Chain A
Amino acid sequence: MAAVAATFDARSDTASKFEANPATRDSTWVKYLVIGVGLTYFAVFLLLPLIAVFVEAFRKGAGTYFAALVEPDALSAIRLTILAAAIAVPVNLVFGVSAAWAIAKFQFPGKNFLITLIDLPFSVSPVVAGLIYVLVFGLQGWFGPWLHEHDIKIIFAVPGIVLATIFVTFPFIARELIPLMQAQGRDEEEAAISLGASGLQTFWRVTIPNVKWALLYGVILCNARAMGEFGAVSVVSGHIRGETNTMPLHVEILYNEYQFAAAFAVASLLALLALVTLVLKTYVEWRSHRPVAGEQVS
């Protein structure tokens, strides 16, 4: 672990290390050319869209901006987005911890195949992710007629939105935990058990503290995707205003109705969420890479 801490410590000033060494130092004009071209690309493709969201949101003044946010349909979209994330994130958290525990602490055949399967939702188009639940729960689908008889709505209703959200955020927490817990091995847990700790005590007092930053990292990314998902949710939502619209879907509706300022106002909330996500993510990276006395570096 000390070695890991050392590399992470060195990581922060790799650039000065490279610049100080004549063998790895580039001439000044190369440096400024690379930085110039790179930053121009960065500014045009990343920074400009971000700025555009806020400029467009306030184009018609602060009054229109806040009116768009407190309008009942917008509030209901915000509530639904929070609800979907509040269900999807904890469920995927339990799954991620459980999958990582099985994969990192035990040997069994087909482990690598299982890891590939867990990553699968990342490579499926969001639209297809929505479609599969229509095929299972939709009126034409496997359980459609049965659900209809019992008056249970999943597609074009909140449960479908939650399911689609769970699908697209499925791997986030598991894939942060699995490699870390594999690298940590099981020595510490075995020591705890041999000293008389119970399985649950070992889990809460040894395993969780060892992975807490990776866990938090996964939760942050999972939450951002859960609140921002568009394609998958759009297929199963049915776009019923005030009922089955999440924030991204509400943005789409406003935009298609040419209410641009209102659309960008709601979009600016999502952009703020993205910025907060990046700040938290950077903080967690910094904390987890920084060796703290008496604390495991993960």
Chain B
Amino acid sequence: MSGVNKRVLPGFGLSLGFTLVYLSLIVLIPLSAVFLKTSTMSWDEFLNAVAAPRVVASYKLTFGASFLAAAINAVFGLLLAWGLTRYTFPGRKIVDALIDLPFALPTAVAGIALTAIYAKNGWIGALLEPLGIKIAFGPPGVLVALTFIGLPFVVRTVQPVLEDLETEYEEAAASLGATRWQAFQRVVFPTLFPALLTGFALAFARAVGEYGSVIFIAGNIPMVSEITPLIIITKLEQFDYKGATAVASVMLVISFVLLLVINGLQAWTARRTGRAI
């Protein structure tokens, strides 16, 4: 049956052929350059590049801050998604539309705006300065920038699941004597959980590779507030192409692993809620 249908519509060879050629030329072949270049390095050379103390410090900061930022967004993203789907309040539509701002706002703009706010003479920085809290030009600044760019992910993965949730489950929970909190904890939250985790993973993956919004606010102090993408840039500026490529290969492998994890999580979400997101 499907064999017959396949022949009815034209353009299969052309469209698939073009797709594969374009994908290979723009994405696959250039990406393979990273691994081919890395493979020309000796093991010692590779280790010296990717396990130098300054590079290791950058991994700790990048992954630590990305994890924390994604966790913060998981908590507040869930709260925002809940507020936007469950409650009516004035300005709800505007808030809903603005949630995607970090997707639309160029990262360099976000970077300088956040720096202006959190520097010690900025709107928030000036309030925190007397308390001895310094955000901009240090690791906390990295966290702030990564929290900003990851904000929409959890909201946008949890929101559709919350919207589609049938009220019957909570009605059943209420008729069986559950309090609202028990109904949330035992009925709603388990349904949301895969979507929440997917949103967390997406925010984390995005944060790990982020560059533009971070470099302005981080201060970029070696061993303290240097993120891994910046290490790649610094090595490139010193014409250390091999070193830059070696660090890039580590980041690429991590990105691929995260992509597989996210695909798995999305499949789980789809099974749990009966919809694809």
Complexed CA–CA distance, A235 and B209 (Å): 14
Which residues of A from 266 to 291 have beta carbons under 8 Å from B?
267, 270-271, 273-275, 277-279, 281-282
Q: Is B216 an interface residue (CB 8 A)?
A: yes
Nearest chain B residue, comparing its CB with the CB of A37: B79
Nearest chain A residue, comparing its CB with the CB of B257: A123
- Of B2, B100, B109, B110, the most chain A CB neighbours within 10 A belong to B109
- Interface stretch of the complex, out of B28-36, B52-60, B191-199: B28-36
What 1/0 flags go to A160-192 for Cβ under 8 Å of B? 000100110010000000010000001001100
Query: Given A34-B87, A41-B80, A125–B251 Cβ distance below 8 Å?
Result: yes
Given contacts A17-B167, A132-B248, 6 further A-B contacts (CB under 8 A): A49-B148, A52-B122, A56-B113, A102-B19, A107-B2, A234-B233
Q: Please classify the interface of chain B as helix (H, G, I), strand (E, B), loop, or mixed, using the class held by over half of its residues.
A: helix
Q: Is A35 an interface residue (CB 8 A)?
A: yes
- Tally of chain A residues near chain B (CB < 8 A): 109
Set A15, A53, A131: member contacting B88, Cβ < 8 A: A15
B211 contacts A267, C-beta separation under 8 Å: no
Q: Smallest Cβ distance from B62 to chain A, in angstroms? A: 10
Residues of chain A with a CB closer than 8 A to B34's CB: 128, 131-132, 135
B9 contacts A179, C-beta separation under 8 Å: no
Q: Is B130 an interface residue (CB 8 A)?
A: no
Nearest chain A residue, comparing its CB with the CB of B258: A123
B28 contacts A135, C-beta separation under 8 Å: no
- Of A135, A138, A186, A275, the most chain B CB neighbours within 10 A belong to A135
B241 contacts A135, C-beta separation under 8 Å: yes
28 contacts between A and B (CB under 8 A): A15-B87, A15-B88, A19-B86, A26-B87, A34-B79, A42-B99, A44-B124, A45-B148, A46-B98, A101-B11, A108-B16, A114-B19, A119-B259, A120-B27, A121-B27, A123-B209, A128-B229, A128-B251, A140-B241, A167-B30, A170-B26, A179-B276, A230-B211, A231-B107, A235-B236, A264-B113, A267-B108, A278-B104
- Tally of chain B residues near chain A (CB < 8 A): 97
What 1/0 flags go to B76-111 for Cβ under 8 Å of A? 100110111111110010010111111111111110
A166 contacts B241, C-beta separation under 8 Å: no
Q: Smallest Cβ distance from B144 to chain A, in angstroms? A: 8
Set A49, A101, A260: member contacting B117, Cβ < 8 A: A49
Give 9 nearest A-B pairs by CB, closest first: A228-B106, A125-B209, A230-B212, A199-B10, A231-B211, A274-B104, A49-B113, A132-B30, A135-B33
Q: Smallest Cβ distance from A97 to chain B, in angstroms? A: 8
- Of A23, A133, A167, A190, the most chain B CB neighbours within 10 A belong to A23
Q: Smallest Cβ distance from A7 to chain B, in angstroms? A: 8
Q: Which residues of B contact A (CB under 8 A)?
A: 2, 5-6, 8-12, 14-16, 18-19, 22-23, 26-31, 33-34, 37, 76, 79-80, 82-89, 92, 95, 97-110, 112-114, 116-117, 122-124, 147-148, 151, 163-164, 167, 170-171, 173-175, 180, 183, 205, 208-212, 216, 229-230, 232-233, 236, 241, 244-245, 248, 251-252, 255-256, 258-259, 262-263, 276
B167 contacts A21, C-beta separation under 8 Å: yes
Complexed CA–CA distance, A105 and B10 (Å): 10
Q: Is A263 an interface residue (CB 8 A)?
A: yes
Nearest chain B residue, comparing its CB with the CB of A105: B9
B256 contacts A18, C-beta separation under 8 Å: no
Q: Which residues of A contact B (CB under 8 A)?
A: 7, 11, 14-19, 21-24, 26-27, 30-31, 34-35, 37-39, 41-42, 44-50, 52-53, 56, 94-95, 98-99, 101-103, 105-108, 114, 116-121, 123-128, 131-136, 138, 140-142, 163, 166-167, 170, 179, 186, 189-190, 193-194, 199, 202-203, 221, 224, 227-231, 234-235, 247-249, 251-252, 255, 260, 263-264, 267, 270-271, 273-275, 277-279, 281-282
B79 contacts A38, C-beta separation under 8 Å: yes
